Every structure is written in structure tokens, then in C-alpha cells.
Amino acid sequence: MAAPVAPMTERAVRNVVFVDGVRTPFGKAGPKGIYAETRADDLVVKVIRELLRRHPELPPERVDEVAIAATTQIGDQGLTIGRTAALLAGLPKSVPGYAIDRMCAGAMTAVTTAAGGIAFGAYDVVIAGGVEHMGRHPMGEGVDPNPRFLADRLVDTSALVMGQTAENLHDRFPGITKDRADAFAAASQAKYDAAVKAGKIGPEFVSVATRSADKGWGLATADEPPRPGTTVEDLATLKTPFRPHGRVTAGNAAGLNDGATGCLLADEETARELGLPVAMRLVGYAFAGVEPEVMGVGPVPATEKALARTGLSISDIGLFEVNEAFAVQVLAFLDHFGIADDDPRVNQWGGAIATGHPLASSGVRLMTQLAHQFAERPDVRYGITTMCIGIGMGGTVIWENPHFEGGDK
């Protein structure tokens, strides 16, 4: 007769907090970019070391996991980059690590996956982030899509070209004109420039030593992609590479970029024990699938799902960080929720159209900016970070401001 099975111990879900986030300055992909001769894993190493440098109160051996995302996991972005970067950064060999991929939402998924482990009690402290060196590893490098995708008409051919999916989104929502997209893009550049001049963007940077065979050593201290002073008139003259007489241009979309991000996550009680700051509390998150041909609409159902699961409504959200893969994608999100194009709650320090979008790293950039905004806005209780994801998905994370002092939102 088998021995009786002991009942499972009940577990309380623990509060997960965002302690701090940092990032490298973002560079332009390609042979002239600041990171053209810098390894992707070295960018991650800089981020991990900076997090530990900024928080000497955290004993390195207390880090339970390192989760690092990359969309193209080959070359210097391969070999289980979470583990290899942890070793290269000098973390104890007892600290494990892994790699993760959800295309543009890689770092976001690294955060939510690690947060689940913290909430369950498997981890106390985690480093999560992402890297993309699009100059060394263009999106899709080395992939071999199954021919059934097209042969069985599972997706349209445009589904695998992100710019074409943005044109498809313009088709679906004809009210989102090129003029609107250009106006949104110009505003993003202006807001980003103002934020840099005001010192809002920059404190999260870790400087990176760069090397060029022609120019020698340099130091990356600022984002390379922004174009301050961009006007709607400037953008109106740009070509539409994805469709003749189209609406998507290099000016109203994020560019091809290199960069890395990382953050510290912890159980709230552990953070208090160690003296770690609490910048945000995780409220909930959701990912949703959509038609791959219009992947840019993904943040809409992801946000609807996240709000429903947390019992919140869109009116409860006081700050939005929406990744600007394409202006049309953000505008589709705003239109769905009845939010004006120039609503001050949305991307108040600009977005990826200005700063760049190194794919798998961008989710933590959004989170870090929201955390800094929370510190300035005790009148805001909830904020979201949301983004569209290639192959037809969206992801949304809802955060609570620990500095909230009362009010409606």
C-alpha cells in the first residue's frame, strides 16, 4: 500500500518590486554606429556591473537568477547569454542565468518571467534585461521559416516584414494618416530632446568604452539615433520604402539600433531587508496574440487583458510608456482607448522613434523611464508599459507607484 501523499503547502503570492533599471546609450546599427566593433555580450556585462555598482547594499551572491533576452541568439548574443554575461560580469559562479526570446518584448518577458518566480518564492532577487546588436545580427539572421506559413496560407507574406505590417495597420485604420504619424514622430523627437536637456534622460545611462579600428577608443555617453529639431515638413519628404506612396518612413518609425538594458527585481520584503529602493510594484501583466499581418495592434488586447485581470480600467492609468516601433502602432492604441495624440500622460519624455529600439532590450527602457516618472509624480498611482511584438503579439505590464500620496489615479 502506497504511503499517503502529504498535502501541498499553501503559498502566499509575494509582492514583486522594480528596484532600479539602467541601460547603455543606444547606438545606430551598422558599420558607422558607435557599437560597430563592440560585442553584444559586453554591453550586457556593462549593464550588470552598473546595477551592482549602484547598489552596494546588494551582496552579489544574493542574486538568484540572471534573465537576458535577445531576438537573434547567435554569435555574441548566443550561448545562453544570461549565464555567460553573469560570469563575465563577475557574479559568483553559483548565480545561474538563461536566455529568453519574445522578439521586441524580450526584456519585458524576462521581467515578467522572473517576476513570476519571485512571486512564487523561487527567487528573492533577479537581474533581468535584454540586448540587441542589430548591426552584427540583423533581425531574422539565420532563421529558416517553415514553408507551410506561406504554402498553407497561415500568414500573408507581409507578416514577416515589420514595416509592411505597419502599412497594413494604416490600411486597417485609414483615419491614421501619414500626416498624423509624422506629427506624432516629430513630437516624440521634441519631447525626447526636452527631456535630455532637463536631465530627465541620462541618469539611467552606463557609459560604454567603444573601439574603432579607424578612430581608436571612444566613450558612448548619449543616445546616437535622436534627431532634435525634426519637423513635420522634414518628415513629409522621406521615402516610403515598404510600399510605393505608402505612409511608413524612417522618420515615423524606430530605427535599427544596438543597445542593452537591465534591471533589478526583488520580493518587496527582501528589498526592505537589504535596503534596496522600491521604484515600482508589479500589479499584473498580460500578453496577447493578434493577426501577424497587423502585429502593431497587439498592445490593445494585451492591455485589455491586463486591465481585466487586475480589476482596473484605462481611466485608472496615469502614465503610459508605449513603445514606438511605428507611430501608427501607438496611434492605433490611443484611438482604441479614446486618448488624444498629444495626451501628456503618454510617452512624456519621447519614445523609440527618437531614442531607438534595439528590439529585445526595449521593454526595460520603458520600465526604467516609468520608474523615474513615478518618483516625480506622487499624484499618479498606476502606469503601464506596453509594446507590440513581431509575429503578431502584444505585451502590457501594469505598475503601481510606491510614492503615491492619494488622489484618483
Catalytic residues: 104, 357, 388
Q: How far apart are CA 209 and CA 206, in angstroms?
A: 10
The one-letter amino acid code at 124 reads D
Cα Rg for the chain, rounded, in angstroms?
21
Q: Count CB-CB contacts under 10 A for residue 236.
A: 12
